Amino acid sequence: MSDAQQPQQHPIGEIVASHRLAADCVVLLGWGAEPLAHEGAAMLDDRRQDRGRYRAAGWRMDEDGTSRHWFVAALRAPGVGEAADGARLRLHGAGAVRPVLGCLPAFDPTAGAFAGELVRRLGPHSQAATRFLLESFGARASRGIPAVSALIGAVLLAGSEEDGVIEILGPIAGEGLFLQGWMRHPRVAGPRLLLQGERLEEHAAACATFSRADVEAPALGFVALVRPAEGNAPEAPRFVYFRAGNHLLRLGVLSGAMRLPADEAATHLRETLPHLRGDPAAERALLAAARPRFAGQDTVSGLSRPVRMAIDLAAHVKGAGWYVTGWLLDPMNQVAAVSIHGSDRSAERIDRRWTRVVRADVSAGFAADPLFQGRIGHDKHGFTVFVPHDGDDMRAWFELELGGGDLAFMPLAVTAMDGTDERRRLLESFDVHKSSAQEIVERQLGPLFAAAAEAPRERTGHSVLRAGNDTSDAVLIVPIVESSLRTNVIAAGLATCGPGDAASIVFVCSPSAAESARSLQRELDFYGLDASVLMADAPLDACDAFGVGVAATKADKLLLLSPCTRPVTQDWARKLLDALGDGSVPACASPTLLYEDWSVRYAGIDGVRFLDVPPFADATSARAGYPRGWSRAEAPKVTLAASLEACALTRSAFEKAQGFAGAFALTGNAGLDLFLRMRTAGVRMSWVGEVELYGLDDAVDAGEYWRRTGEMVDGWCLRARWQGRVPPAINVVPHASDAPIADVPPGEPSLRVAVSGSR
Amino acid sequence: MRVLVISHGHPAFSIGGAEMASFNLFEGLNRLPGVEAFYLARAAHPLARHRQTPLMSLRQGTRETFLWADNYDHFLLSNRATEDLTGAFRRYLLEVHPDVVHFHHFIGLGVEALWEVRHTLPEARIVLTFHEYLSICMHHGQMVKTQKKRLCSRASPADCHGCFPEVPAARIFERELFLKSHLQLADALVSPSRFLLDRYVKWGLPAEWFTMLENGIDTSNVAPPRPIAPGARRSRFGFFGQVTEFKGVQVLLDAVGRMPDSVWGDDAALCIFGGNLENQPEAFRNAFEALIERAGRRAKFYGSYQAGEMPDLMRQVDWAVVPSIWWENSPLVIQESFLHGRPLIVSDIGGMKEKVTDGVNGVHFRVGSAEDLADKMTQVLTDPSAWERLRAGAPRPISHQDAAEQHLALYNSLFGADRRAA
């Protein structure tokens, strides 16, 4: 619009004060004959091409019989902060017919001068103007932009009423900032306070008052706990502001205020508690903040009461939570509650969720202690508990609530247990022979492993120790994750009965089996085996190793082979891969697996049985234990699940199931879970009976304790994930009709096969 | 034809049947026209390896070389120092470039040595002679149970796990697969006895891979009968071999101790020629010494001997006793006894039973039974015609030369057809 087209009659008005916040931002105080719209366009008259915006609040005021519409405006336009005194400013409100024109006065040199002018001109409306500026700039002020903070501070100071002082202040660890003083008017502040110091911050607060003889009525003593939503206690302020009705009140912090060290503020608050009056929520918050603080020391061992405690294992599993085992000896029931507290302020009662464990050794150890002599009536002092926890901060301690409001603390030396070896240590943390074992699995370790499985998993990286030829359409992946493996046996086996041209070979090693990786490379060189050797960046189990291998390769068809599985024929790999068809359909196939005594180890899976007792879940493999050749199948047959000890699968099948879940301790159960998910996703699953491999027990480690307990925990996890959801199984027992290879869609039993449903 | 004979030991340093047989073959082959034989023996502790190379000569013949190998996995019969196989051993193979590589053992060298030969010399024929059951049996290859030393007639992961409960059956099977994957690289397998051959076939190696070839011995020097006065008895018994529990010397001493004075008389004696006692378990040493003491004047322990001494030692005895409580294969002492016309008294099992015909060229007694052995010794001491009768029935053993010729025929046959696909 040209000047010629602009209305020639401008409303009467004047900009009486202005303050520069930035080169493109100013605040204005002025009036007009007509109300200024709350927002609109703004521009300097000589820079119409640089249009800006403004926001404003206004009030009608009658002065000497004349009505004037005063306004405060926050304005952002290019160059406005650098405009010369007298520069013409055009404010065109949204929906207004005519703009307001005015000349910029000289900028007030200080925020205080502008604030003083604002209070003087607006009188009773100055607090509303202050609120407007707070809404417009409060967020920026809290970020500490000096000019804005100065403006808001000056406006607050000018627009608020002094109501008292803060005399004592100090941080309370994990809670916030404690303030104490008095206020002139008996109005309870809150629930939010504005703290003005180097920055302006607004926080929730729990406030209460108390009587003081040293201040004149109706003034009252005042305490507040400022509780930031996150992070540490706010810095000590110079002023504290709060709203009471339409009033903005101010408490100044005395220059000689007592500043309490971190541990003393809570003690001071605790001593004040009996005299405080506030709303119930505030009183509860203050009570909680006033409790004794954990100072890093074990205070249980020094109790004069017959209460003792020790921690055997304190672990934190990322994405799952804390897992703690130990014992609490409390024969006189002195402990009312036990809770775990995290440095991130998380807290959870554990005595409502823990599993108590018989610990006769604890009874025996304290039987002669004068404090406990004759008082120990049972042995169930042990405990095992899993506490879900989302955060990464694993620092924690136990808080014991004792009769009479006393508290005692037990520090926890928490260890991160996210790796494979650490998970095994967790599995070794309970005694399978004790009656509590089942409950520990069902209530503690099972949920822990299940929660860990749901947590996002970081992909493990790898480095290439030995580069082989990977031009085949298929890749054979062999995990080397145990240091006890005889790599010469593995290499010799694949050198004589390897996949040949059917697949390239990739070994994926765990750093925990670094020595095996080194010897493997030597053996591969000796036997002249063309194979790649990858070293994972972090210790991993066989499933994770398979995952690394899959991610590190591009072949459309995969062969997964346990290092304990021994091929004995030349063509096993080709036949297994052929069972996948052309690879266009997601498919998976396993061969017959035999034990060393030539009995059947795997010949298809025809169902999963769920139990109320350990092992909780049990996959039934058709013909398992039968003599080799009992009923050798010539053609591949549909089955419920393949075997991770040896299987061929399309990459699409692996991706459909989204790889392995992290819930399982043992490879076999992780594999069953994977194959059930594949099956649920419609992946064709078959058993190739004519191909025979030897699946040898990982006997070097079979006696390891964690495997026994791992079976229980895995069984629980399988039951939790699959009970009532197992896709239809194909019964391949000899007397049933042997169905030819064909897929059975999930949930749609075939008429030709027997379906064994899950409980 | 160039033949490389490989043995786990050189007889100059280690007296044993396999060492002797392999060295005799090496010498016999070298005497054949058109044959050039080399001998590679394993060396190990207490010999020290030279810093630069595991190969050494140890002042033996120009065609006799040693390969120092002492990083050995006794469970898998595996050589952990594969770098020596791919290094010095490979260079040696390429230097000699034999047409035939004949392993007489791979203890200490590891089954990987077969792989290395096959890899380095793909056209060479590999022959392997078994001397005991080491591939089958983890108990020193003796096929004797670890508990109570009962004889074992069948190896399987489950059976062997019974002998070695600390080794899972799966690992035992893994060992079997590992060994077979290397043994199958041989073009021919040789057994000096039908009994041993049958054991390996029963273990799973195809019978058609085997050839039975007896070991040859030095037949140039035959000991005459021990001179005795007219009417005197053939009453001197000899034991030849390593003094170990499995050789049954304790059974023999026990038997001698049981014999009544009226039968034993003043003229009978037992002469024990054998070494290696110092390397036996203390319990066995103590038991042996107690038995020697108990036998008193009836038995004398002469200690170890060299192969060349055999004719002289044979001169001192009339009978040879082979009381082994393990199966044996084809003990050289049987061939030696036949050569020198000393009838044998042997345990009635395995290679001993196969090589000695009861009542024709020797006498069988129930293995491990001192009582039965005493009976049989009484029988021959009280039958004045037994010695002459049984001596007359002894077969003529084959010489080194005969054995070498038989082996050469085998080697030639391997070149007559395509090499067996491994």
Q: Are A464 and A532 in contact (CB under 8 A)?
A: yes
pLDDT of residue A750 exceeding 80: no
Q: Is A282 helix (H, G, I), strand (E, B) or coil?
A: helix
pLDDT of residue B80 exceeding 80: yes
Pick from B83, B156, B181: which is nearest to A493 by CB? B181
- Tokens of residue B415, six digits: 């070149």
Q: What is the pLDDT of residue B417?
A: 61
Write the single-letter amino acid at A726.
V
Residues 369-398 of A with CB under 8 A from B: none
pLDDT of residue A185 exceeding 90: no
Q: What is the pLDDT of residue A596?
A: 93
A696 to B173: CB separation less than 8 angstroms, yes or no = yes
Q: What is the pLDDT of residue A668?
A: 84
Report, as an integer, the average pLDDT of B368-395: 97
pLDDT of residue A747 exceeding 70: no
Q: What is the pLDDT of residue A203?
A: 87
Q: What is the pLDDT of residue A734?
A: 38
Pick from B78, B115, B168: which is nearest to A697 by CB? B168
A628 contact B CB<8A = no
Q: Are A133 and A114 in contact (CB under 8 A)?
A: no
| Residue A423 binned pLDDT confidence (cut-offs 50, 70, 90) | confident
pTM: 0.73
Percent of chain B whose predicted confidence (pLDDT) is above 90: 89
Report, as an integer, the average pLDDT of B63-86: 94
A564 contact B CB<8A = yes
Q: What is the pLDDT of residue A72?
A: 93
Percent of chain B whose predicted confidence (pLDDT) is above 70: 99
Beta strands (DSSP E) in A587-628 are 587-594, 600-602, 605-610, 617-621
pLDDT in tens, A249-259: 899 999 899 99
**Which of A499-532 are b and which e, b meaning 16 or more Cβ less than 10 Å from the residue's Cβ?**
beebbbbbbbbbebbeebbebbbbbbebbebebb
**Backbone φ and ψ of A620, nearest 5°:** -100, 120
- Tokens of residue B155, six digits: 């190896």
Report, as an integer, the average pLDDT of B89-99: 97
pLDDT in tens, B145-185: 998 889 999 999 999 999 999 999 999 999 999 999 999 99
A524 vs B contacts (CB less than 8 Å)? none
Write the single-letter amino acid at B82.
T
Alpha-carbon separation of residue B135 from A330, A596, A663, B78, B154 (angstroms): 63, 17, 43, 11, 13
B76 contact A CB<8A = yes
Roughly how many angstroms between the first and final C-alpha of chain B, as a whole number? 23
pLDDT in tens, A562-571: 999 999 998 9
Alpha-carbon separation of residue A704 from A663, A667, A709 (angstroms): 19, 14, 9
Percent of chain A as helix, strand, coil, to the nearest 5:
25, 35, 40
| Residue A703 binned pLDDT confidence (cut-offs 50, 70, 90) | low
Q: How many inter-chain contacts (A to B, CB under 8 Å) are there?
A: 69
B182 vs A contacts (CB less than 8 Å)? 492
Structure-model confidence comparison of residues A596 and A704, the more confident one: A596
Measured distance CA(B146)–CA(B166) in Å, rounded? 13
Measured distance CA(A249)–CA(B75) in Å, rounded? 88
- Mention every residue, 6+ apart, whose C-beta is less than 8 A from residue A453: A661, A662, A663, A664, A717
pLDDT in tens, A66-79: 888 899 999 998 88
B177 to A568: CB separation less than 8 angstroms, yes or no = yes
CB count within 10 Å of CB A327 equals 22
A699 to B178: CB separation less than 8 angstroms, yes or no = no
Write the single-letter amino acid at B273.
F
pLDDT of residue A752 exceeding 60: no
Q: What is the pLDDT of residue B418?
A: 62
Percent of chain A whose predicted confidence (pLDDT) is above 70: 91
B171 to A488: CB separation less than 8 angstroms, yes or no = no
Q: What is the pLDDT of residue A231?
A: 66
Measured distance CA(B405)–CA(B27) in Å, rounded? 12
Report, as an integer, the average pLDDT of A655-659: 92
Structure-model confidence comparison of residues A114 and A50, the more confident one: A114
Q: Where are the alpha helices (DSSP H) in A458-608?
A: 487-497, 514-527, 542-552, 572-578
pLDDT of residue A716 exceeding 50: yes
Q: What is the pLDDT of residue A124?
A: 82
- Tokens of residue A180, six digits: 């104490």
Q: What is the pLDDT of residue B3?
A: 98
A432 contact B CB<8A = no
* Helical pair B17-30 and B332-340, crossing angle rounded to 10 deg: 70
Pick from A489, A523, A597: which is nearest to B158 by CB? A597
B178 to A488: CB separation less than 8 angstroms, yes or no = yes
A699 to B171: CB separation less than 8 angstroms, yes or no = yes
Q: What is the pLDDT of residue A632?
A: 67
Reference A27, options A56, A3, A5; nearest CA is A56
pLDDT in tens, A129-142: 888 888 888 766 66
Measured distance CA(A446)–CA(A386) in Å, rounded? 9
Structure-model confidence comparison of residues A738 and A289, the more confident one: A289
Pick from A497, A568, A697: which is nearest to B170 by CB? A697
Q: What is the pLDDT of residue A712?
A: 93
B179 vs A contacts (CB less than 8 Å)? none
Residues 476-515 of A with CB under 8 A from B: 486, 488-489, 492-493, 495-497
pLDDT of residue A737 exceeding 50: no
Report, as an integer, the average pLDDT of A361-383: 96
Measured distance CA(A324)–CA(A399) in Å, rounded? 14
B178 to A697: CB separation less than 8 angstroms, yes or no = no
B140 contact A CB<8A = no
Residues 525-554 of A with CB under 8 A from B: 525-528
A489 vs B contacts (CB less than 8 Å)? 76, 174-175, 177-178
The lowest-confidence range among A350-359, A636-645, B12-21, B250-259 is: B12-21
The lowest-confidence range among A538-542, A735-739, B5-9 is: A735-739
The distance of Cα B327 from the centroid of its chain, to the nearest Å, equals 11
CB count within 10 Å of CB A468 equals 17
Residue by residue, DSSP assigns A103-124 as EPPPPPSSHHHHHHHHHHHHGG
Measured distance CA(B382)–CA(B310) in Å, rounded? 27
Measured distance CA(A513)–CA(A482) in Å, rounded? 5
Instruction: Check whether the bond before A191 is cis (ω within 30° of 0).
Output: yes
Q: What is the pLDDT of residue A647?
A: 97
Reference B107, options B29, B204, B177, B17; nearest CA is B17
| Residue A107 binned pLDDT confidence (cut-offs 50, 70, 90) | confident
pLDDT of residue A735 exceeding 70: no
| Mean pLDDT, chain B, integer | 94
B184 vs A contacts (CB less than 8 Å)? 496
| Mean pLDDT, chain A, integer | 86
Pick from A489, A522, A525: which is nearest to B178 by CB? A489
| Residue A83 binned pLDDT confidence (cut-offs 50, 70, 90) | confident
Q: What is the pLDDT of residue A631?
A: 67
What is the dihedral angle through the alpha carbons of A208, A213, A216, A218, rounded to the nearest 10 degrees? 40
Report, as an integer, the average pLDDT of B267-284: 93
CB count within 10 Å of CB A487 equals 22
Residues listed for chain B: 422
Q: What is the pLDDT of residue A8?
A: 47
B181 to A700: CB separation less than 8 angstroms, yes or no = no
B112 to A568: CB separation less than 8 angstroms, yes or no = no
| Residue A701 binned pLDDT confidence (cut-offs 50, 70, 90) | low
- Mention every residue, 6+ apart, whose C-beta is less than 8 A from residue A388: A320, A321, A348, A447, A451
